[in-house]
Amino acid sequence: MDNFGIKDALNQLGIKELNEGTSTGSQWFANGDIIESYSPVNGELIGKVKTSTKDDYEKVMQKATEAFKSWRLVPAPKRGEIVRQVGEALREKKDALGKLVSYEMGKSFQEGLGEVQEMIDICDYAVGLSRQLYGFTMHSERPMHRMYDQYHPLGVVGTISAFNFPVAVWSWNAAIAWVCGDVCVWKPSSKTPLCAVACQNIITEVFRKNNIDEGVSCIVTGNACGDLINNDHRIPLVSFTGSTRIGRHVSKTVAERFGKTILELGGNNAIIVSEHADINMVLVGAVFGAVGTAGQRCTSTRRLIIHESIYDKTIQALQNAYTQLSIGNPLDASNHVGPLIDKGAVQDYLNAIEKAKSEGGKVIVEGGVLEGEGYESGCYVKPCVIEAENSYEIVQAETFAPVLYVMKYSTIEEAIDMQNNVPQGLSSSVFTTNMREAELFLSHAGSDCGIANVNIGTSGAEIGGAFGGEKETGGGRESGSDAWKAYMRRQTNTINYGKELPLAQGIKFDF
Ligand code: NAD
């Protein structure tokens, strides 16, 4: 494996054989059980991470709440300057961190680099944003009164992240939260803990150099910390990225104490392929969407809804494209598809195929687990295509693996209904050169998803837009546009600079 430079990358990122929290330096305390992180690429142990106990969590929260008191007083553009330096530090470590993401999570090195690039982009974005945390002014109905609204920092933001974007999701939250004046406590996925340790090491250097209280950026490790965060009234906002099943629990628990949540949960994303589509474009969008990151993106393409007049031709082109896919070590740029995260995910993939067959699905491209040289981790599977009905139970659920369901439609209205007729509402797309179809798809009678694209697949997004989805995807928005508002509290201010005290709505109260 070391011809891919993994050892060097781990060294550069300060990853040791056993990584444990320290009371000096980064704000991470960990004296609990050990998580072993195995690479899905080759099944080898990459390193170990100690988990945070309840006492460790308490220490971290004390550091974070203390740090908030000073961080909120730093002018926002000065906070932006720190985030700018974080972006610079990430640029320096881009190669090493991209490699670790690829090795620990299993996505291609190119996608690992892309994930780090997203981190850099969100830092750049946040720097500009730090001078644009605007409120409105409005005209008062009362004379000599001034009204406006302003945004104040919220406090401690708890970020709980999924394994599939082990570093980018955290940065979308942290970079924005920091310029907003919040401090962050991050609980990374226990499947990719070393990526979090690496980020924390990078951040710590920047904070130290600038004499910033390191409590502004904390981590806690281990699944048990999830519920500590959910129930902690000192955390006004929990930003959760993960499955709908756990998101539902987080949502209820945080709501019970009137905390806020940003929920970024599962997707069930479809591409509508119109008879007016450019088929070459469809193939790139659909195949990358379905097999990229081995189908483990929240925006992965799970359903292809194809017009009946071009159905056979599209299926043939798809079969042809799938035979050309090479599956193997994701650090090797010649491979298109890497492994699933672990054997549990492989079992979920196999169960989904069986379930689809039992509901009447017809296999168009055969799946299966790969064995032999290069596949020793047991996590490599063949991307699979199944002809199915939208109503099948298995089609209605998100399977986090490269299983693509294909189905036919006859009118665009029917296609939009099928696209919408699932519990999730994250990403959607139509491939068409027909302006009426495209506009209908984007209209209020069109896609009900948080992301709706024309002639672009469902997979991936740019940080400039607000990212998130509706229905069981949770309704949260992160990243660009005005998503920053969720990280601040809004206050309406009215100032009377006159010599009388008129009441609103013309009410008289004389005595
Ligand atoms: P998961 O739900 O299994 O885990 C997510 C996180 O929740 C992990 O950090 C886990 O340790 C933590 N967790 C476990 N129990 C918890 C509890 N009781 N309270 C709080 N946190 C707890 O998800 P996963 O398998 O890591 O990720 C895959 C899922 O994430 C997919 O459903 C995917 O669609 C979704 N996802 C969504 C987006 C999005 O932006 N919509 C992005 C990435 C991933």
Question: What tens digit of pLDDT does each residue of 262-307 get?
Answer: 999 999 999 999 999 999 999 999 999 999 999 999 999 999 999 9
Q: What is the mean pLDDT of the chain?
A: 96
pLDDT at position 28: 74
177: CA distance to ligand 1 center in Å?
Answer: 20
pLDDT at 258 over 50: yes
User: Does ligand 1 have an atom closer than 6 angstroms to the CB of 265?
Assistant: yes
3-state helix, strand and coil shares in percent for the chain, rounded to the nearest 5: 40, 20, 40
Task: Tell me the residue range of the domain where 412 lies.
Answer: 269-464
DSSP string over 266-322:
---EEEEE-TTS-HHHHHHHHHHHHHGGGG-STT-EEEEEEEGGGHHHHHHHHHHHH
User: Does ligand 1 have an atom closer than 6 angstroms to the CB of 261?
Assistant: no
Span 30-59, pLDDT tens digits? 888 999 999 999 999 999 999 999 999 999
The answer to whether residues 423 and 321 touch, using CB atoms and an 8 Å cutoff, is: no
Between CA 17 and CA 457 the distance in angstroms is 40
Residues 43 and 187 in one domain: yes
Residues 261 and 273 in one domain: no
Total-model pTM:
0.97
- The model's confidence at residue 510, banded by pLDDT at 50, 70 and 90, is confident
The answer to whether residues 332 and 376 touch, using CB atoms and an 8 Å cutoff, is: no
pLDDT at 11 over 90: yes
The minimum-distance atom of ligand 1 relative to the CA of 426 is 41
pLDDT at 107 over 90: yes
Residues 261 and 280 in one domain: no
Residues 357 and 287 in one domain: yes
pLDDT at 128 over 70: yes
Residues 55 and 106 in one domain: yes
Span 351-368, pLDDT tens digits? 999 999 999 999 999 999
Which residue carries 């942290």 as its tokens? Answer: 174
Residues 241 and 322 in one domain: no
pLDDT at position 441: 98
User: Does ligand 1 have an atom closer than 6 angstroms to the CB of 473?
Assistant: yes
- The model's confidence at residue 22, banded by pLDDT at 50, 70 and 90, is low
> ipTM exceeding 0.95?
yes
- The model's confidence at residue 504, banded by pLDDT at 50, 70 and 90, is confident
The answer to whether residues 340 and 349 touch, using CB atoms and an 8 Å cutoff, is: yes
Classify residue 469: in a domain, yes or no: no
Cβ count near 313 (within 10 Å)? 11
User: Does ligand 1 have an atom closer than 6 angstroms to the CB of 170?
Assistant: no
Task: List active site positions.
Answer: 264
Phi/psi zone of residue 293: left (φ > 0), alpha (ψ -120 to 50 degrees), beta?
left
244: CA distance to ligand 1 center in Å?
Answer: 8
Classify residue 212: in a domain, yes or no: yes
User: Nearest 5 degrees, angle CA 237-CA 238-CA 244?
Assistant: 140
Classify residue 69: in a domain, yes or no: yes
Cα distances (Å, whole numbers) of residue 127 to 153, 232, 464: 16, 30, 13
Between CA 461 and CA 399 the distance in angstroms is 20
User: Does ligand 1 have an atom closer than 6 angstroms to the CB of 161?
Assistant: yes
Q: At 315, which amino acid appears?
A: I
Residues 22 and 61 in one domain: yes
Residues 65 and 102 in one domain: yes
Q: For a substitution probing ligand 1, which of 163, 227, 341, 346 has the most ligand atoms within 8 Å of its CB?
A: 163
Residue 95, judged by CB atoms within 10 A of its CB (0-12, 13-18, 19+), counts as middle
Span 196-222, pLDDT tens digits? 999 999 998 899 999 999 899 999 999
Between CA 443 and CA 429 the distance in angstroms is 13
Q: What is residue 348's three-state secondary structure?
A: helix
Tokens of 35: 């998580």
User: CATH code at 194?
Assistant: 3.40.605.10
User: Does ligand 1 have an atom closer than 6 angstroms to the CB of 384?
Assistant: no
User: Does ligand 1 have an atom closer than 6 angstroms to the CB of 224?
Assistant: no
258: CA distance to ligand 1 center in Å?
Answer: 21
pLDDT at position 31: 83
H or E, element range at 79? helix 76-92
The minimum-distance atom of ligand 1 relative to the CA of 267 is 34
Which of 464, 483, 500 lies at the terminal end of a domain, its last residue?
464
Span 394-440, pLDDT tens digits? 999 999 999 999 999 999 999 999 999 999 999 999 999 999 999 99
Quick one: average pLDDT of 138-162?
97
Between CA 426 and CA 468 the distance in angstroms is 6
Residues 239 and 279 in one domain: no
Classify residue 508: in a domain, yes or no: no
| Pairing state between β 403-409 and 424-425 | unpaired
User: Does ligand 1 have an atom closer than 6 angstroms to the CB of 238?
Assistant: no
Residues 82 and 223 in one domain: yes
Classify residue 458: in a domain, yes or no: yes
Tokens of 168: 């980018």
172: CA distance to ligand 1 center in Å?
Answer: 16
Phi/psi zone of residue 193: left (φ > 0), alpha (ψ -120 to 50 degrees), beta?
alpha
| Pairing state between β 237-241 and 362-365 | unpaired
Span 216-250, pLDDT tens digits? 999 999 999 999 999 999 999 999 999 999 999 99
385: CA distance to ligand 1 center in Å?
Answer: 25
- The model's confidence at residue 24, banded by pLDDT at 50, 70 and 90, is very low
User: Does ligand 1 have an atom closer than 6 angstroms to the CB of 160?
Assistant: yes
pLDDT at position 25: 46
Tokens of 224: 């048990």
240: CA distance to ligand 1 center in Å?
Answer: 7
Quick one: average pLDDT of 486-501?
97
Backbone angles phi, psi at 447, to 5 degrees: -60, 140
Indicate the range of 328-332, 443-447, 505-509 predicted with least confidence. Answer: 505-509
pLDDT at position 26: 56
The answer to whether residues 191 and 341 touch, using CB atoms and an 8 Å cutoff, is: yes
Q: For a substitution probing ligand 1, which of 111, 192, 223 has the most ligand atoms within 8 Å of its CB?
A: 223
pLDDT at 27 over 70: no
- The model's confidence at residue 380, banded by pLDDT at 50, 70 and 90, is very high
User: Does ligand 1 have an atom closer than 6 angstroms to the CB of 398?
Assistant: yes
**Based on the structure, what is the number of domains in the chain?**
2
Q: What is residue 220's three-state secondary structure?
A: coil
pLDDT at 347 over 80: yes
Residue nearest to atom 41 of ligand 1 (CA): 264
The answer to whether residues 255 and 236 touch, using CB atoms and an 8 Å cutoff, is: no
User: Does ligand 1 have an atom closer than 6 angstroms to the CB of 140?
Assistant: no
Residue nearest to atom 14 of ligand 1 (CA): 223
Residue nearest to atom 37 of ligand 1 (CA): 265
Residues 229 and 281 in one domain: no
Between CA 112 and CA 101 the distance in angstroms is 5
Classify residue 277: in a domain, yes or no: yes
378: CA distance to ligand 1 center in Å?
Answer: 23
Q: What is residue 134's three-state secondary structure?
A: coil
Between CA 137 and CA 134 the distance in angstroms is 10
Residue nearest to atom 40 of ligand 1 (CA): 264
Cα distances (Å, whole numbers) of residue 78 to 70, 73, 131, 216: 13, 10, 9, 14
Residues 325 and 388 in one domain: yes
Between CA 263 and CA 423 the distance in angstroms is 15
pLDDT at 316 over 50: yes
User: CATH code at 445?
Assistant: 3.40.309.10
